[in-house]
Structure 1
């Protein structure tokens, strides 16, 4: 792995992306590696709006396709700020030699905000200027496993339902089938430590 690296985790809600991102972060930190852990939506002002929309505290359209498009624009704006802000922007950290690990990136916009070809074109345009990650890790689980894990949570957000997750799974399969960056698809139903070891082999090779 080069001195600075942008590492992205993707997957369905409940797939284990946050767990594996945290495991990788702790592993690199113990080695004394400069590393940062982040997520999308970000903790910035636009990211906070998105979180409020998902929790229902901030009202957007009740029509699903319109809501998806609203989120596509908001996520692109949040992503631009996430990459470029002067406080903790990803690009600035990478220039400083920090490895940045993020759960979710523009792949999630294709997965979660697209139900038509027009949607794919809009998301593609909104995200066209954003750089590819150095490493992309897709933690793949069946929708049934995602739903089983989500059922243990005390509350769910707007997208955490079977109909949406089945579409998201199809969209992930579509976008990653034609992605040519450095990519690992890992079985998210394996034991946590086995997944972690597979990820380490991928990013450290």
Structure 2
């Protein structure tokens, strides 16, 4: 049973690590939206406004809302709940080592597989949207900025609010969000793999237990059939 206890402990650490990464996904991207008057910079475009300033065309709000909601509900709430559940199981297993092998495995394999797929989609949305924003800022005939990071804290005209505002530290914040989202994706995949391994070990132990039960009566029969010698 030591294998299961160690595995349960590692899974618990993974859940709490993903919980922390959830804040690194949602908070920086949310701050970027606030600094840009609620506009989403993922998939945003830039174009000339006049000789001095440029106009920033924000993308649909859902492009930023989707990763933020995934970070909050999947990586924060769900991961925290699973971390607490596993922590309680570890505590109970100190008195009853069989607790770990009795826990549900298959439902969480399926649920974590779905979560990993959703997390992968959210990470792709962030990465592709960020790349399109940086390409619009750097790779075009106007050559607005030499690098994407140079556009931080620049005053741009917003087509949505019709005001001039600073872009803030969008490059730093979105980079943090992007990194954390891919780390979370790998974390969920690791939990799925761990669940599959645990399910296989549980099944093997059950088969061994059933085989031992079947052998016991036959062994007793053989012992009883032996006649004592004079």
TM-score, length of structure 2 as denominator length = 0.26
Q: Which has the higher contact order (CA 8 A, sep 6+)?
A: 1
Q: What is the TM-score with the length of structure 1 in the denominator? A: 0.28
Whichever of the two has the greater Rg, that structure is 2
